[in-house]
Amino acid sequence: MQAVNRLQKSLKKGKPSFGGWQMLPGTNLTRTICRSARNLEWLLIDLEHGNISDDSMHEIVAASAACGVSPIVRVAEGQPWMIKRALDSGAHGILVPVIDTAEDARNMVRYSNLLGVEKFVEQHPHGTEVKELTGIEYLQQANDSLVIAVQIETKAALENVREIAALPGVDVLFIGPLISKMDPELVEAIQSIHDAAQAAGKATGIYCDTGEQAREYANKGFQMMSAMTDMVRVRKVFKQACDAAKGDL
């Protein structure tokens, strides 16, 4: 399981890991995203703000894993049953939003137990023999094979960020600055989160909507960056195409 969790492998090596962000349902879309680039290591399946149901999530997780891309599920909130459903689907990791305190983060770790052994298969995105885990291999690796990321997005979380970062079992502090222009206060907050993660020996993740932004943060020592979001980029690309078609007509 550790061998096929591409995000975890990069985090353990201290290397940057780039991923995609899926908000729209559909496994054909999943496969298109996952087969788009060899260095796309993970796919975030967004149940918080995306249009993805529970059954779609199960199918998308399986499709992503079959393509050799680690499926990471952002649950709608940190409810135990939501986390269990994500793990039942075979997710390689979870992202939990709105973590305010160290106790919140501690609960997320406690709720997280892997169950979807059949989703952990080793296969190259462009097709090779599938290697499945035995039951013994699953039991030996389960506790260490899940990436747990918590989203730092509130004032309370920022105040408690060092305590959150220090918790065993928390792998990534994730930031989602969905703002086109960042003021100095936000820049400072992002840096303080990154500093807390670094001090605790944890990784920092951040939402990016372009490869250029992702590379910028990778150069700053961040390790988990999205490079594109399906719904956002489809809208922008269609607008660009229609604007070009209209021209000066």
**Backbone phi and psi for residue 145, each to the nearest 5 degrees, phi listed first:** -105, 0
Does residue 45 lie within any of the structural domains?
yes
Q: Please tell me the pTM assigned to this model.
A: 0.88
Residues with active-site annotation: 49
Query: Would you say residue 1 lies in a domain?
Result: no
190 against 118, higher pLDDT: 190
The count of structural domains within the chain is 1
Asked if residue 22 belongs to a domain, the reply is yes
pLDDT tens for residues 14-34?
A: 999 999 999 999 999 999 999
Each residue's pLDDT tens digit, 129-166? 656 655 556 555 655 689 999 999 999 999 999 999 99
Give the pLDDT band of residue 127 (cuts 50, 70, 90): low
- 226 is a domain residue: yes
166 is a domain residue: yes
172 is a domain residue: yes
Q: Is 161:173 a contact under the CB 8 Å cutoff?
A: yes
Q: What is the pLDDT of residue 114?
A: 59
Instruction: Give the Cβ contact number of residue 183 at 10 Å.
Output: 9
In 3D space, the residue among 210, 241, 237, 244 whose CA is nearest the CA of residue 225 turns out to be 210
The strand ranges marked E within 123-192 are 131-132, 147-151, 172-175
Predicted pLDDT at 178: 64
Residue 141: per-residue pLDDT:
60
Q: Residue 221 belongs to a domain with what CATH number?
A: 3.20.20.60
Identify whether 113 is part of a domain: yes
Residue 171 has pLDDT above 80, yes or no: yes
Q: Which of 22-31, 49-58, 231-240 has the lowest mean pLDDT?
A: 231-240
Query: Do 171 and 149 contact (CB within 8 A), yes or no?
Result: yes
Q: Which residue has the higher pLDDT, 47 or 119?
A: 47
Q: Is residue 105 pLDDT above 60, yes or no?
A: yes
What is the share, in percent, of the chain residues with pLDDT greater than 70?
Answer: 84
Range of the domain at 219: 6-246
Closest CA to 224 of 79, 95, 67: 95
Confidence of residue 211 (pLDDT cuts 50, 70, 90): very high
Give the pLDDT of residue 249. 81
36 falls within a domain: yes
Report pLDDT for 166: 97
Measured in degrees and rounded to the nearest 5, phi and psi for residue 121 equal -125, 150
